[in-house]
Structure 1
Amino acid sequence: MKERRLSFLFFLVMFVIGTDTFLVSPLLPTLTQYYGISTSLSGFIVSAYAVGYMISALLIGPISDRHDRKRILVIGLVVFTLATAGCGLANTFAMMLVARFVAGVAAATAGPQIWAAIPVLFPKTQVVKVMGYATAGLAVAQIVGVPLGSYLAVWSWRFPFFFVGVIALMLTMLVVRFMPSLNEVTTSRLATGIYRKLFQNKTVLKLLGAYLLFQTANFCGFAFIGTWFAKSFHLSVGAIGSFILLIGVGQFVGSLLGNRLVTWLGQPHAFLLEFLLFIAGYLVLPFTNSPLTATVILAFIYTIGGALLPLFMSTLQEHAGSARSTISALANAVMYLGEAIGGVIGGILIKQFTGFSGIAVFTAIGASLAMLLYAQQGYFKQLQTSR
């Protein structure tokens, strides 16, 4: 019962953090008009959150590894609650940018503590499963974040921020009540010392490199699905949103069911099979001639992607030692870096190649390189189950 309660709590925390990330997207036209700014400037509302997250992730990780992670998580959630509510109170563009930046800082403070806590609080046989629950929280946020912002904004653009802030406050109280102390500190190193030790670990560097390759490829594909559907299939914005919703459901299902595949085949074989299926899906995708077929294939691809993410996080945690929060923060920073790089490359490829062919091939190549790095570390060999 205790493990189930914590699993559900971790799911909810990651869901709220993820929802706040996607919440702003449907509000941008309204905020552009309210603040009297240009459409290009409105993008800084999104960027402020991402920049705050990336900068904070690199600083907070080592701090968390030298203090009680539960306390850091609670502090992060409290600041997240206040910053999100502050977005709803922002009467000027500058105030909104500051509030979104602080919200990103707080999200980067709280999120890595969840990944770091799982290997400490759960037996090794349950780690991938619980990682999947946390990943499912992010997947659900990706599915409902945009429509939730739209529905709640019917009353006022401020209301979505207040709603998420209240939910975050409630979760903070649940964390204080039910989550045990995570004072696993075994080092007094400064941040530079912690990073130096991690960066001297060649396995960690290769795993982070593999994760960067995969996320760059992954976001290159995901970011331009809507553009592809509009250009090649001439779909409306509403229809595109419905299809992407179905794709997001696939990622949610994969997050929950990935552990069953690991249990059935063993982690090495399941890991390899998921990589191969992900790559094969993208190689087939450009040959589709209807949005429905494309959506089915993409839903399958993101089901596999949802199953892969917990394995990425658990393999990184295996090599973290006492620097669990730092490695989680680095993984998150790498994910955002991959999103940024993938967005730039995808913009070029969607313009230069017919349909989705350029992006699909690039994504397949990136995932293949990531797979080769994991193979080099022996993660697809059966004796790695004794790790």
Structure 2
Amino acid sequence: MIKLTALFFVIMFVIGTDTFLISPLIPTLQNLFHIPTEYSGWMVGSYALGYAIFALIAGPLSDGWDRKKVMLSGMVCFSVSTMLCGFATGFWSMFFFRFLAGVSAAFTAPQVWASIPALFPTSKIAKVSGIVMAGLAASQAFGIPIGSLLASAHWYYPFFIIGACALLVAVFIYYALPEMKPNQGQKTKTPIFSRYIPLLNSRMARRAFLAHFLFQCGFFAAFSFIGKWVTDRFHLSIDQAGYVMFFLGLGNIVGSFGGAYVIKKLNRFNTLVVGFLVSIVCFIVLPHLPSVAAFESVYFFIFVNMGIAFPLILRMLNSLNPTIRGTISSLANSIMYAATTLGSWIAGLIYATFNGFSAVGMFTAICFAGSLLSFIFSGILTSQSENKEGVCVINA
């Protein structure tokens, strides 16, 4: 069990590093490829777009296939497409290769979350999920700064290194992960998208996924332009911006490991409400802070909150219907990356229009407020607070 936990941690670390790598590289690639600020967000959005579209297909398909084969194939393709990014010669070639990397990740990462309940006993699921989520947080704390340092030597080094690491991870998937073939009842020839019908018919599910979308849209709108903002505001170099990301990633790690304790003390409802309200205030004041130290301190606190909130949200969504966890996990990831696409695009527009981060921070605060209200009115917080196992089944 330990080796599987470690494997899932590494998978999320590698994919997370690649996902967030573009953020500190935006100023460098913008100058290299002569990209206007209002379009630079698409270097993040192209990856997210590929993920968002194909995760909708990958989820239902994976519920009827061997998850090991899906994860292995996805990781190999992810490795190749990431290395191809290092050969990009302009905006459109980078856009295309990042899109392919997102498509590959859409067939890989959701399998991790869907595999955890299948491979681990119920008593271990929350703990393993927190450790795996810490892999994503660690990618922000360690992967992105390392990538930034490599990029300071040459911009394409991080893509080659991450691609090579992904290929090595694929080897471990092949040898360490057991087969996870679907049950006979899951091997149906029903249309792919029919698996989404129980979710579409549930008011709780619709509102919960809307809340998830607003949360991710706001968060990634702000996150995508951290590197550019600290570079513009405080005149930091690319490696210095990477150190800022390292500090923020530590906050996410703290939240991921400490989330279970906080939720146990406050319960799900209070944890989410307090965390969102505090984050809203922080995003409003963030652009007006006078120094890098003040900025890092406030954003560190935001990332602690996000490290607690994100695994909690994913657990709530996955518990809506345990029989279609692959579909739910892929839909949640698809929504996250669709929100990333929209959020990074909007952030680029308003950053260029209003010449700074203030409007981006306000946009994020509004998204968080809408997300919190949608979670509350969905009933998912109250329903699962009253259920000891955290399972809120909607009928298929």
TM-score tier, shorter chain, comes to: 0.7 to 0.9
**Which residue matches 2:307?**
306
**Which residue matches 1:121?**
119
Q: Which deviates the most, 151-160 or 309-318?
A: 151-160
Q: Distance in 1 between the 2:97 and 2:207 partners?
A: 35
| Equivalenced residues, count | 382
**Which residue matches 2:394?**
none
**Which residue matches 2:71?**
73
Q: CA deviation at 1:361?
A: 3.9
2:276 is the alignment partner of 1:275: yes
Aligned partner of residue 66 in structure 1, secondary structure: coil
Q: Distance in 2 between the 1:42 and 1:285 partners?
A: 22
Q: Distance in 1 between the 2:289 and 2:86 partners?
A: 43
Q: CA deviation at 1:200?
A: 1.6
TM-score (norm 2): 0.81
**Which residue matches 1:62?**
60
Q: Distance in 1 between the 2:22 and 2:55 partners?
A: 21
**Which residue matches 2:381?**
379
Q: Distance in 2 between the 1:229 and 1:29 partners?
A: 11
Equivalent positions of 1:324-363 (< 5 A) are: 324-347=325-348, 350=351, 357-363=358-364
Contact (CA 8 Å) 1:127, 1:314: kept in 2 or not? Answer: no
**Which residue matches 1:205?**
206
- CA distance 1:352–1:84, change in 2 (3 Å): closer
Alignment RMSD? 3.5
Task: Give the structure, 1 or 2, with the largest relative contact order (CA under 8 Å, sep 6 or more).
Answer: 2
Aligned partner of residue 379 in structure 1, secondary structure: helix
Identity %: 36
**Which residue matches 1:235?**
235
Q: Distance in 2 between the 1:61 and 1:85 partners?
A: 25
Q: Distance in 1 between the 2:158 and 2:337 partners?
A: 24
Q: Distance in 2 between the 1:234 and 1:372 partners?
A: 35
Contact (CA 8 Å) 1:266, 1:385: kept in 2 or not? Answer: no
Q: CA deviation at 1:165?
A: 2.9
- Aligned residue identity for 1:302: F
2:136 to 138, 141, 166: 138
Stretches of structure 1 that go unaligned for 5 or more consecutive residues are none
2:99 is the alignment partner of 1:101: yes
- CA distance 1:170–1:65, change in 2 (3 Å): same
Q: Distance in 1 between the 2:315 and 2:257 partners?
A: 15
Contact (CA 8 Å) 1:268, 1:385: kept in 2 or not? Answer: no
Q: Deviations along 1:135-184, whole A, 9 cap, x unmatched?
A: 22222223444443344457766654443233222222222333233234
2:167 is the alignment partner of 1:176: no
**Which residue matches 1:218?**
219
Q: CA deviation at 1:13?
A: 0.1
Contact (CA 8 Å) 2:40, 2:348: kept in 1 or not? Answer: no
- CA distance 1:146–1:183, change in 2 (3 Å): same
Q: Distance in 2 between the 1:291 and 1:28 partners?
A: 19
Contact (CA 8 Å) 1:83, 1:102: kept in 2 or not? Answer: yes
TM-score (norm 1): 0.83
Aligned partner of residue 298 in structure 1, secondary structure: helix
**Which residue matches 1:49?**
47
**Which residue matches 2:393?**
none
Aligned partner of residue 192 in structure 1, secondary structure: helix
Q: Distance in 2 between the 1:43 and 1:371 partners?
A: 26
**Which residue matches 2:247?**
246
Contact (CA 8 Å) 1:128, 1:311: kept in 2 or not? Answer: no
Q: Which deviates the most, 80-89 or 195-204?
A: 80-89
**Which residue matches 2:7?**
9
- Aligned residue identity for 1:290: S
Equivalent positions of 1:285-324 (< 5 A) are: 285=286, 288-324=289-325
Q: Deviations along 1:21-67, whole A, 9 cap, x unmatched?
A: 34456777888999xx6446988765543332222212111110111
- Aligned residue identity for 2:51: Y
Stretches of structure 2 that go unaligned for 5 or more consecutive residues are 391-396
Q: Which deviates the most, 205-214 or 146-155?
A: 146-155
Q: Distance in 1 between the 2:161 and 2:256 partners?
A: 26
Aligned partner of residue 108 in structure 2, secondary structure: helix
